[in-house]
Amino acid sequence: MEKLKNRFEFCTGCNYDDFISIKYLDEVPGTDEDNMETYNPSKYLMWQDLLTGLFDKNIEELPLNAHYEKLTKIFENAVKRNGEYGFIFEYLVKVSHVLSLKSEIGIKITQAYRNGDKVSLKAFVEVELPELEKRVKELRRCHREQWFMINKALGWDIMDMRYGSILIRIQSTIEQIGDYLNGKFECIEELDQERLSFTGKPGLVKYGNFYGYIVSPSRIAPKG
């Protein structure tokens, strides 16, 4: 293994352990080492809706915010020591920074709502959700810059739609919680719904890879 690491550095100028650490976007608490079962929580936690939380039941009690916060620091250090490929980790820093807040936020909002904790709900409206919006915008800017650096423009329209969707749903979540706190709504219907396992089984979801099934249970959602 040491020979492989040295050879990797000689051929690429990069740090082997840094590139291996990319696997921890999906190899999270609740998965086995090397994630041979193809769990991909980074994708469905990024794009799932804040209020409907289709995957929230599957990640209950997993310390995912802390996992991604630690990973953010690893990627930040990796930017500095991987030469011309450091830009890869600049993007991954933004990804894990979003996930360190978004992974568990739906669960926490639901808990606060069901416990009648309006102080915490107000904090989500005024602090945590605006911070999440800021982080998603930073991720989009970084992703866009790198997309046009290494890809053709075709395909970015889809990513814009996805980022646009998550950003407007953050705004909608702020508005709905705000309307509830102000007495305009008696309840938040999405949060009253029982949280069910996405697969009908406990634990993380394997290969939750279709965007349309991640963002909404509605069958008019895009299937890509």
Q: What is the pLDDT along the chain (224 residues), one digit of tens a residue?
A: 999 999 999 999 999 999 999 999 999 999 999 999 999 999 999 999 999 999 999 999 999 999 999 999 999 999 999 999 999 999 999 999 999 999 999 999 999 999 999 999 999 999 999 999 999 999 999 999 999 999 999 999 999 999 999 999 999 999 999 999 999 999 999 999 999 999 999 999 999 999 999 999 887 766 65
The angle formed by the CA atoms of residues 201, 106 and 131, to the nearest 5 degrees, is 145
- Report the C-alpha gap between 22 and 96 in whole angstroms: 10
Q: List, in order of start, the domains of the chain with CATH numbers.
A: 1-48+59-103 (1.20.120.670), 104-193 (1.20.120.670)
**In terms of Cα–Cα distance, which of 170, 216, 159, 198 is closest to 57?**
198
- Name the helix (H) or strand (E) containing 18: helix 16-20
CA–CA gap between residue 32 and residue 203 (Å, rounded): 12
